Structure 1
């Protein structure tokens, strides 16, 4: 009887020990399971939807910057084109003045280097041709100034030109009277007209032409 009771106690001890181990393993598995099933993979940092949202907002910011910068760029381009256009107009006017000064200088050099005729008749014809050339150039310059000058300045120039024509003819007459009755009288008259007309061409370009 005592032996049977002792065996029962030993068996009960083994049974309790087995149950304790099973409970410990179950607890260990229960404690380890959250570690294996934790969700760092589904964190906000790795969320694909969040990344897409951030990239889209960055693109929107870049588009907004481009749209905001487009208006001043267009305005600056327009102002630049206007300034370039104004500058080209000024350059064209300056080149026109320089062009006429070169023409006048070329004509003046031709007068200086021309071969003087021998007879009085030939010399008078030569001076008459010189006067016609300068008078033609004077009329050309006058036409350019009509297109350039404002109406009030042109009216003033027109009156000035009429007074100058009278002065030229009077000066030519006065110069020719030094040779009154001689063969040089008519030659001096036309030569003075030519020289004064040449001076007038230079004066108009220098004073009025832009």
Structure 2
């Protein structure tokens, strides 16, 4: 009987020891699981922070690059800011200079044109030259209509009528030197061409802005 009690006590002791060991093992597993979960959350948070920082840096770089492009586009090749070409003074100077340059080129072309060998050829050439300068005179007159005030334009219109009359009278007078001869027509149209060319220069220099 006593032996049976001892055996039962030993068995209870063993069972208690085994249960205690299992409990410790369960606690260790629980601790490891908790630690693993916590570590995973920390890693996830760290990765998210890194991703946010990377995207922020990339966005900052894009903005910086865009700003650099905007700064570059607002500067000229030498790094100086572009100046607006729409100011009144620049438009006036450019317009006047453009026409003076054009007139000089037209006159230069006249000088270097090959002269005809007969009176008829020369008269045809002078007629073409007169026509060319008269077309240019009308263009200049049209520009001045846009630039001058109504009062100034009325005055210029009156001057132009007087000049046309003067041009034709001067051409007629010059041609009378060869009245009845083959040179009469040539001198007439040549004088018209020369006076029209001079009128173009005068209008640009005096009135154009």
Match of 1:162 in 2: 161
Partner Cα distance (1:91, 1:157) in 2? 24
TM-score normalised by structure 2 residue count: 0.59
| Structure 2 runs not aligned, ≥5 long | 1-82
Say if 1:86 and 1:122 are closer, same or farther in 2 by CA, change over 3 A: closer
* Secondary structure, aligned partner of 2:87: helix
Partner Cα distance (2:116, 2:88) in 1? 45
**How many residues are paired up?**
127
Q: CA deviation at 1:113?
A: 1.2
Partner Cα distance (1:136, 1:87) in 2? 28
Q: Is the 8 A contact 2:144 2:208 kept in 1?
A: yes
TM-score normalised by structure 1 residue count: 0.59
Do structure 1's residue 115 and structure 2's residue 146 form an aligned pair?
Answer: no
Q: CA deviation at 1:94?
A: 1.1
Alignment of 1:69-108 (within 5 A): 88-108=87-107
Partner Cα distance (1:137, 1:122) in 2? 23
Partner Cα distance (1:114, 1:148) in 2? 34
Partner Cα distance (1:172, 1:88) in 2? 43
| Structure 1 runs not aligned, ≥5 long | 1-83
Do structure 1's residue 151 and structure 2's residue 166 form an aligned pair?
Answer: no
Q: CA deviation at 1:92?
A: 1.2
Match of 1:72 in 2: none
Match of 1:175 in 2: 174
Match of 2:199 in 1: 200
Partner Cα distance (1:182, 1:127) in 2? 17
Partner Cα distance (2:117, 2:194) in 1? 20
Q: Is the 8 A contact 2:85 2:91 kept in 1?
A: no
* Secondary structure, aligned partner of 2:166: helix
* Secondary structure, aligned partner of 1:177: helix
Misfit runs of 4+, over 3 Å? 84-87
Match of 2:124 in 1: 125
RMSD: 1.4
* CA shift digits 1:99-126 (9 cap, x unpaired): 0000000011111111110011111100
Q: CA deviation at 1:89?
A: 2.2
